[in-house]
Structure 1
């Protein structure tokens, strides 16, 4: 590979930044391959701020993240600009404030050790966590804590269908929606699925009222509480469509939601509790093992 002369990009020549990066990124395989021992001392400087240099090798990650040569150049350009800004802030901070180097180093070490511990605990949890939550666990947690799941919005079980306003099926759909006969209910669902422009027919699924009425004339209804309280069947139109809502059941704000509505949330809570328990278990195991082996001392 032809040896390139070193080039220094200072703040005064930002206009040529992208052109230089494109040149550097041409022939990505050569540009991004790891340096051999003989090349280690000849790393090209991409940018400089004061006495701080950004080296070509520090951009080697770009090859894996980019999809094309142009993409590589854009990523490199953003990275260089970000690096320059950070270095300028560091330089300005050094001029404007007096820093306790020992305190900064202590904080860096604290962060380093905290990150090491976090990664160690994360690996332990990933290897030992059981994500299977039983129905009984969910029900038990719900019974003890359901008061904590107070609703913040109206939820409903509903049959919903949206049809063309002039559809020949509308009269039949309305008749079946008013019927209490299970056979009519099944026929309605089949008809809605075949002729509806949009529909929601999951009888057992609780859904937020705002989610089901979005993009319908009911979206801006001034009193949604009265709407669901006083109407089992709601029919409304806009210029083109007719909307049918059969309210099967509802729950209002501040009421306790049914278990099915909070099942996923409870599952996440229980899994997170297991994570915390595993971390606590790991810490105790490490401590007790070290205690048995006399690996630490406490001085009075």
Structure 2
């Protein structure tokens, strides 16, 4: 290669690199501080810069720069003292980054594609197959109840409506309870832990829990409250839980199974596409 051409080429490359570095610096803005090969640029602290640049703003910027310098010096010293750990840390950071990206991607796919409707038939089928897995750790009861203040209007009629069992009286009771009851539940199925129910209702009658497990229906009167209870079902600790009591748990189980199946299908599809499009190579044989 001729000396004149070599010199011209070197000059061109040097000038190009200088222009590139200059353009890069212009894009990043004014340099405020340097530690080793790390730079703090004005744009890096754009959020804390006040356009008026009064004394307070200058103090804030100086304080930020000092904090940045101290942190970078500490980081530099740590990297010098822990060279073997750097690769391990970088690998963990990379692994975490990849896991986070994949997790966000999977959550977006689940949001877009997962069918969240679980049919009653699917719930019943799962319950019948795995009912031995749903063993009660405490007594549960299926109850309807109405708790009133003792001075509630037409309180005497409430007992008749509550215990009659007729649809007409149930509608009257529902309307009355929505306006005057302290608390109530007239749903067709309302399974709840017996002890939890006793604590929730909070009656002073000491035999309330015993009555709950012995009677099918009863009324309690106290100085301030009246309580009407109908026990439609009960299951003891150690027995199989009723379907209605574990229905929400089964829904969560089936929904999670559907999530796993969906993600497996998507992973298989992505792998198949990658194979067809020659997006990867394996060199180990």
Of 87, 91, 98 in structure 2, the residue corresponding to residue 102 of structure 1 is: 87
1:127 aligned partner: 112
| TM-superposed deviation, 1:274 | 1.2
Question: Which deviations, in whole Å up to 9, do the C-alpha atoms of 1:34-56 show, x marking residues without a partner?
Answer: xxx989535999xxxxx998989
| TM-superposed deviation, 1:296 | 1.6
Name the structure where helix makes up a greater proportion of residues.
2
Structure 2 residues without counterparts, runs of 5 or longer: 1-24, 49-63
| TM-superposed deviation, 1:105 | 0.9
In the alignment, the residues of structure 2 paired with residue 206 and residue 151 of structure 1 have an alpha-carbon distance, to the nearest angstrom, of 12
* Conserved 8 A contact 2:145-2:227: yes
Could you state the TM-score of these two structures normalised by the residue count of structure 2?
A: 0.63
* Conserved 8 A contact 1:43-1:57: no
Q: Figure out how many residues of one structure are paired with residues of the other and give that number.
A: 233
Of 253, 273, 277 in structure 1, the residue corresponding to residue 237 of structure 2 is: 253
2:121 aligned partner: 136
Q: Secondary structure at the match of 2:282?
A: coil
* Conserved 8 A contact 1:217-1:236: no
| TM-superposed deviation, 1:190 | 4.7
In structure 2, do the counterparts of structure 1 residues 56 and 298 end up closer, same or farther at CA, with 3 Å as the change threshold? closer
Structure 1 residues without counterparts, runs of 5 or longer: 1-36, 46-50, 62-79
* Conserved 8 A contact 1:162-1:244: yes
Larger-Rg structure: 2
1:27 aligned partner: none
Within 5 Å, which residues of 2 pair with 1:118-197? 118-167=103-152, 169-179=154-164, 187-197=172-182
Q: Secondary structure at the match of 2:29?
A: helix
Could you state the TM-score of these two structures normalised by the residue count of structure 1?
A: 0.60
* Conserved 8 A contact 1:121-1:282: no
In structure 2, do the counterparts of structure 1 residues 38 and 193 end up closer, same or farther at CA, with 3 Å as the change threshold? same
In the alignment, the residues of structure 1 paired with residue 269 and residue 219 of structure 2 have an alpha-carbon distance, to the nearest angstrom, of 63
Of 11, 26, 29 in structure 2, the residue corresponding to residue 41 of structure 1 is: 29
